[in-house]
Structure 1
Amino acid sequence: MPPSNLPDTKVPSHTTQYLATLAVCTGALSMGATLGYSSPAGPRMMANSTSDDLTVTLSQFNWVSSSPSLGGVAGGLMAGVGVDFVGRKGVILVFSPVFFLGWLMIALARDVAMLLAGRLACGLAAGAVSIAVPTFVGEIASPDIRGLLGSVFQVMITTGILSVYVLGAAIPSWRILAGVFAGLPVLTFVAVLFLKESPLYLVSKGKEDEAAASLRFFRGKDYDASDELQVLKESLEESRQRKASAKDLLKPHNLKPFLIVLGVFLLTQFSGITAILSYMSSIFQESGSNLPDDVSSSIIAAVMVAVTLFSSALVDKAGRKALLVTSAATMAIAFNMLGQYFAGKESNRAWVDNAAWVPLACLVVFVSAFSVGFGPIPWLLLGELFSPEVKGVAVSLVQVINWSTAFLTTLIFAPLQTSLGDSGMYLLFSGLCALALVFSAFLVPETKGKTLQEIAAHFGGSPVAGSSQGRRTEG
């Protein structure tokens, strides 16, 4: 028996994994800031100010607010190829300067075209980050903390939204605000530069010595990487043998989970979350809230961060389906109440004068419900429901459609608001959330506590399609 003071070479250290996850997830901060930037910046861009020679019309701003999602489509596609070509770390290093240039173009924009180009560049980088960062984190994380580290990405996105709302309230210029966030991708680049590449990527390139060094880097210098390295090699070989094309998605055991995951992502966007985050300040301006719109927006974002921090603990206790159903039902109620408030406001009903707190309360409830269910769980299902041989194709398609839908919902938000009125628009979103409730209750399977093989068998797939190790799904 070895002396007790010697390190256990089979037990990984977690410190470097925590630090590495925080480092790469600074890219998620930039992504969140990109999603939330138009909320504080929009009213100032559209204001007729003598201090700025660039004024944006409402129709132009609709494109400014939605264009990052359009860039996200291209960024996701490029990163889907790039993570296997230049590596997970490589993609983050390549797109960090793109983020920097995007923010810089926004800060220095001389016309709307340059402003749009900057927003598209930020969206391009955000789309790449949404692929590369979760992939990197999932591949460097020890199984015992994979669920925890995986939740950091969503937490950092909401923290990025909060930071842009808070700084937007303090910084009067949308140009200076963009300039401040140009510093974030510089931090990401420098921090990630000192990390090792994903061990799975290195194994895929035949660099086994470098993969072993990477494992020791993330697990501790005394860690015996031989067993884990062998598992990676076997997993990679199995994946290569089972690799499939887009046509294989049409097989029933692949098509059904694909349609379920796609449906969940579409309904996530149809809930209006991306548009709400982009137009948050304008919503509060129109609502007649007693609080300044920047303060109200910051409260909403702070609630999102807090709820997201604690929601990961609920996934394995309550289950995926239960949280989706509860999330959708609560969002539907919140939007219905908001629609009723605006209907009363449009009809000049007396009770509205004493109910200026309603919009803030409704949106706090909405984002809380979203952060518990439809925020994190679609990404979890993305990893659980697909068989390994079609996962790459399926994830890429879902991401493209997800970003495209985010673009469309954000682009049409203001025209929809004009044509239906505030009350009609929120009642429409309430109905779509009710549809998400029905979809989740009757079509989404419960995967809590099931092995990946059991999930694959549920859809009629091969019992080994889920995993060669038969591990239980993690939250």
Structure 2
Amino acid sequence: MDSGQTWRQFAIASIANLLLVAIGYTMGWTAPINGKLQSDEESPLDRPVTVDEEAWIGSLLTIGAIFGPFIVGYLASRIGRKWTMLASSLPLFIGWVLLAAAKDVALLYAGRVFCGVTMGMGFTIVPLYCAEIASDEYRGALGALLQVLLTIGYLLVYGIGPFVSYSVVIYVGTACTVAFAIVIYFMPESPFYYLGKGDKDSAASCLATIRGKTEAGVMTELDAMASDVTASMEKTARMTDLFRGNNFKAFYISMALIFFQQLSGINAVLFYLTDIFEAAGSALDASISTIIIGAVQLGASCVIPLAADRLGRKILLMISSAGTAVGLFLLGAYFVLADNGNPVAEQIGWLPVVALMVFIITFCWGLGSLPWAVMAELFPIEVKVIAMPVVNIFCWILAFLITRYFSALAAATGMGVTFFIFGACCLASFFFTLFLIPETKGKSFQEIQDLLSGNSPKKTPTWK
């Protein structure tokens, strides 16, 4: 019996997600770099940046990300998923070059926009690729690898950023980008891409590589994939199709999950993590606190690939939504006490670290990666290439608004109220998940469509 090698799909998905290491590095870049840009000795500029310029440096990453999904939508069906991932490393490389050469704020802005383009591309193409190479029983685990590799990038920049020069931080980010571009070249293409081009031989070859089987051993699974692709090619997806039947259910669920993910305030927290600790007057050094949070984030993220296909997406999203709400409410309560000069705040200087640990851990358990994984599962093949860019663009518009105006909102209402608002959104996410999100654990793409239709899904074979 041709049992195959399960580890292959995990290894290939992990290599694809190395792009997320580079993206996580650039997303966390502002945490240690903001202090350098405000220093006369460490800044590459001839003056410290202003508070407004700091906000733009953080938020322009998400402006660049808005353009990424458009590029993926064009390239993925034309040159393939693999080559689109390789192409996505180019804007990031250009971004690092601009940041390294920056002598004025304009080049910093330009560099962050280019880095953001890769972020938008990566969050679109990597989940799509992983969903298409995964067998049904491991699709959740492969989708959850995104969060693990992303947090490695965060921890890397948190760990080295405070202790090395501005230039060294840039060089490490560039090295991560180049390393990804080299290794992804050797990975197989998605079999769905070849099937869409009518090249069944190439599809069989790459699926055999992914599964660790002979081509004869993957033919049954390949025939099922080909059937799905043939059915999808008989339909021409248009933007209006997103608002019809199952597609609309998948669309509003995906949009809502992304809304709650971003309104948790995650990007504002991670971009300004060091600033938050400094504002809280934490008993620990702000840089050390940031490293601790990064390490906790990585540890928590490692749970998801193990749990996503055991506990299911729905229960993990509920746990995540409830936990992030608790962490944010605790953080908000601390800032309310501190802002009002309550002496209790001095006695609980440890609370911001604990609250952020709760927030980060539970965010990683669900809201961090599962919206992307669920999104890749819910849409039929012909609609996916339209839907995922649209949802991703919505994601990055929200991320820009939150990141750009977090400082202004905190200044106007206080840190405490700001975190209470984020916590309320996480609480709303819990009830939305409880009542409206279907469980997709272990189901094939066709079974998921049956589930959205309200029909009892017919069990399809599982290939191991």
Same fold flag (TM > 0.5): yes
Worse-superposed segment, 68-77 or 137-146: 137-146
Q: Is the 8 A contact 1:46 1:58 kept in 2?
A: no
**Which residue, 186, 199, 210 being the options, matches 2:191?**
199
Contact 1:384/1:452, CA 8 A, preserved across alignment: yes
Q: Which moved more, 1:381-390 or 1:221-230?
A: 221-230
Deviations 1:103-124 (A, max 9, x none): 1211221211111111111110
Tell me what 2:98 maps to.
105
CA apart distance, 1:139:
2.8
Matched residue type, 2:32: P
1:365 to 358, 368, 384: 358
2:429 is the counterpart of 1:436? yes
Counterpart for residue 281 of structure 2 = 288
Structure 1: how far apart are the matches of 2:16 and 2:445? 27
Q: State the distance in 2 between where 1:358 and 1:43 align.
A: 23
Per mean C-alpha deviation after superposition, the further-off stretch among 322-331 and 335-344 is 322-331
Q: How far apart in 2 are the matches of 1:317 and 1:221?
A: 25
Among candidates 51, 66, 69, match of residue 62 of structure 2: 69
Specify which structure has the bigger relative contact order, considering alpha-carbon pairs within 8 angstroms and separated by 6 or more residues: 2
Letter in 2 for 1:233: A
SS at match of 1:182: helix
Q: Distance in 2 between matches of 1:470 and 1:341?
A: 51
Gaps of 5+ in 1: 1-7
Q: Distance in 2 between matches of 1:459 and 1:220?
A: 33
Using the TM superposition, give the Cα deviation of residue 379 of structure 1 relative to its aligned residue in structure 2, in angstroms: 1.9
Matched, 1:400 2:370: no
- Within a 5 Å distance, the mapping from 1:274-313 to structure 2 comes to 274-313=267-306
1:346 matched residue in structure 2: 339
- Contact (CA 8 Å) 2:136, 2:443: kept in 1 or not? no
After superposition, the Cα gap between the structure-2 partners of 1:393 and 1:471, relative to the gap in structure 1 and judged at 3 Å, is: farther
TM-score calculated relative to the size of structure 2: 0.91
Q: Are 1:105 and 1:115, in contact at CA under 8 Å, matched by a contact in 2?
A: yes
Amino acid at match of 2:116: G
Change (3 A) 1:388 1:333: same
Q: Does 1:384 align with 2:409?
A: no
**Residues 442, 22 of structure 1: CA spacing in aligned structure 2 closer, same or farther, 3 A cutoff?**
closer
Is the partner of 1:130 in helix, strand or coil?
Answer: helix
**Aligned partner of 1:114 among 85, 107, 117:** 107
Q: Does residue 240 of structure 1 match 2:233?
A: yes
CA change 1:64–1:372 in 2 (3 A) is: same
> Residue 447 and residue 27 in structure 1: after superposition, are their counterparts in 2 closer, same or farther (change >3 A)?
closer
1:4 aligned partner: none
| SS of match in other structure, 1:84 | coil
Deviations 1:15-56 (A, max 9, x none): 543443332221110111111111111121123437643432
C-alpha deviations, 1:142-191, integer Å up to 9, x for none?
Answer: 445444333222210111111111111321x2332112210111111111
Give the corresponding residue for 1:163.
Answer: 156
The aligned runs of 1:115-154 (5 Å cut-off) are 115-154=108-147
**Residue 23, structure 1, aligned to residue 23, structure 2:** no
Q: How many angstroms apart in 1 are the aligned matches of 2:438 and 2:14?
A: 32
1:94 aligned to which of 87, 111, 114 = 87
CA separation in 1, counterparts of 2:254 and 2:314?
Answer: 12
CA distance in 1 between partners of 2:221 and 2:304 (Å): 30
- For residue 458 of structure 1, report the CA deviation from its aligned partner: 4.8
Higher alpha-carbon deviation: 308-317 or 441-450:
441-450
List per-residue Cα deviations over 1:284-331 (Å, max 9, x = no partner): 111111111111111111111111111333334444333323322222
- Corresponding residue pairs, total: 462
Q: What's 2:319 paired with?
A: 326
Q: CA RMSD in A?
A: 2.6
CA distance 1:357–1:118, shift in 2 (3 Å): same
Look up the SS of the partner of 1:85 in the other structure.
coil
In 2, the alpha carbon distance for the partners of 1:375 and 1:24 equals 18
Q: Write out per-residue CA displacement over residues 404-437 of structure 1, whole angstroms, 9 at most, x where no aligned residue.
A: 1111111111111111111221122222222223
- Code of the residue aligned with 2:4 in structure 1: it is P
Alpha-carbon offset, residue 266 of structure 1: 0.5
Structure 1 residues 424 and 66, CA, compared in 2 at 3 Å: closer, same or farther?
same
For residues 439-471 of structure 1, what are the alpha-carbon distances to aligned partners after superposition, in whole Å with 9 as ceiling and x for unaligned?
22333334456665554345447x69x89x746
Residues in 2 aligned to 1:427 and 1:228: alpha-carbon distance in whole angstroms: 49
2:27 alignment counterpart: 35
Whole-angstrom distance in 1 between the partners of 2:248 and 2:224: 29
Task: Find out whether 1:177 has 2:169 as its counterpart.
Answer: yes
Q: Does 1:188 align with 2:180?
A: yes
Distance 2:337 2:16 in 1: 47
Q: Residues 22 and 432 from structure 1, CA distance in 2 versus in 1: closer, same or farther, beyond 3 angstroms?
A: closer
Check conservation: 1:452, 1:470, Cα contact below 8 A: no
